[in-house]
Amino acid sequence: MKHLLVFLLIGLCLACQDDTDRIIQTNLPDEALQLFDVSSVLGETTPLASFSFSDFRNLSSENLPGCPLIELDLNLQQVLLNYDERGDCEGEPNHSRKGKILIDFSNQSGLVRKLFYYENYSFESYQLQGIREFTQSTLSNFTETFENLRLESEQNLGFTISGEFTHQIKRNSFIPQSITSSGNLTGRNPAGRTLRLNIATPKFTELRCYAQDQILPMAGIETWWVGRGESSEVSYRISFEKESECSVQAFAQLPDGRRLRLIN
């Protein structure tokens, strides 16, 4: 009986040690980079929502990062951005994109609604799957909602996220100049851990830099929380800092206090 108790105690100790190891061995820089990837992939197409259907009629491919072929359906009020075919642009884009984005415009009770459908769309190593809904109440203000949006990486890392955001557009002579974004996000990471995001300081994106394929905001702070077990979380703070004209650096404050540069 004594021997049995000894073996049980050893087994329990090993199980506890395994749980502890899983927590200790979490690579904080890698986890921060994953959160940065989610932020980048999600934010990369957000500025497209600042354009009206009329704006797209006047845009050329060189005005959009990735230089997609722009196709308009005037009857259905739809815009198709085809990244599998390049428009008339010089040079190569900074980032890799494939697939298509269909933007469906509708007007209901004075509100302009834009639905983003991602059709085999990928940005760098991530594919985006799902629908995002943007509702514009005024020329300068709109909200965004999405549920169970899926991000899949080439390494089979999957994120499922839902969010609510508000965006403000600054215009000059009715032409969009910048977009300021804030809001919250929840979801799960590839390990099944819970995710929470709050944009503590609104993210500011200049559309002239966005046209040059600078997809990161010029300013802003994100706070992320990642679950650890049933009742604990660790937090990351990602900040965007303008270095020079259309040049940005991003840094992460890790849970252990270290500061990590996210862009080499």
Integer angstrom CA distances of residue 235 from 25, 96, 174, 178, 212: 16, 30, 40, 29, 32
- pLDDT for residue 104: 97
pLDDT beyond 80 at 189: yes
Task: Please state whether beta strands 68-73 and 78-86 pair in parallel, antiparallel, or not at all (unpaired).
Answer: antiparallel
- pLDDT for residue 157: 87
pLDDT band at 263 (very low <50, low <70, confident <90, very high): confident
For residue range 131-182, what is the model confidence (pLDDT) as tens digits?
A: 999 998 888 999 999 999 999 998 888 999 999 999 999 999 888 999 999 9
- pLDDT for residue 94: 87
- pLDDT for residue 133: 97
Provide the 8-state DSSP code for 61: G
For residue range 52-104, what is the model confidence (pLDDT) as tens digits?
A: 999 999 999 999 999 999 999 999 999 999 999 988 888 888 899 999 999 99
- CA dist 68 and 83 (Å) reads 5
- Residues with Cβ within 8 Å of residue 37, at least 6 apart in sequence: 126, 151, 153
pLDDT band at 6 (very low <50, low <70, confident <90, very high): very low
- pLDDT for residue 219: 97
pLDDT beyond 50 at 37: yes
Check if the beta carbon of residue 167 is closer than 8 Å to that of residue 144. yes
- pLDDT for residue 170: 95
- pLDDT for residue 25: 56
For residue range 199-240, what is the model confidence (pLDDT) as tens digits?
A: 989 999 999 999 999 999 999 999 999 999 878 999 999 999
**pTM, to two decimals:** 0.87
pLDDT beyond 70 at 22: no
- pLDDT for residue 204: 97
